[in-house]
Chain A
Amino acid sequence: GESVGLHLPTLSVQEGDNSIINCAYSNSASDYFIWYKQESGKGPQFIIDIRSNMDKRQGQRVTVLLNKTVKHLSLQIAATQPGDSAVYFCAEVRETSGSRLTFGEGTQLTVNP
């Protein structure tokens, strides 16, 4: 069936290093992808999104890469800071199915000082 999943449940990095969080999706008809960040005790927050007709999008310290050939999505965080420690979720949507998002299970990012 359709799924959106993350390769690793946990990722530990040193402060200042770059982080890469990966996500695989199975539905080639997905039109739109979003990355969310969830800090402990809070609801998920939107980070960055990308449409399926793009392969890269950059934000402030974050870059999302989309490889449709292998159905893979990644979130790159530059110069990772302690405040980046959180669970990161990818989500996908197919416009023909309305605006309902399908979420992956999440990766726990821990930034070590």
Chain B
Amino acid sequence: DVKVTQSSRYLVKRTGEKVFLECVQDMDHENMFWYRQDPGLGLRLIYFSYDVKMKEKGDIPEGYSVSREKKERFSLILESASTNQTSMYLCASSFGGQGLYGYTFGSGTRLTVV
């Protein structure tokens, strides 16, 4: 069964900490995405990547960075965590070929910043 695996389901961090959220996919997908999900705001795109070592800003990149050193792994980094970054974070991947746009999502990481 193909999978997108997020390293943590629940995470509690302190304000100011550097936080790493890891995502690994085993489908040889080209594209990977990081979203945050908040009540009433839906899914908002933070960063995405179409290839190794490539990254593009999404709609809300401020306060975040990403790393994609290997095709299967896409990391989201909170340089200095703040309470307004408390959220559900979802990683997704897609093949990226013509007509193959469906995303496969991970189970999510619920991050609480205190």
Contact = CB atoms under 8 A, between A and B. Distances in A.
Interface in B83-105: 90, 92, 94, 96, 98-105
Give the bracket for the number of chain A residues in contact with chain B: 20 to 34
B104 A42 contact: no
Interface string A40-65: 01111110010100000000000000
A95 interface: yes
A45 B103 CA distance: 8
A101 B41 CA distance: 16
Nearest to B45: A100
5 contacts: A32-B99, A34-B102, A44-B103, A99-B31, A100-B48
Interface of B: 4, 31, 33, 40-43, 45, 48, 50, 90, 92, 94, 96, 98-108
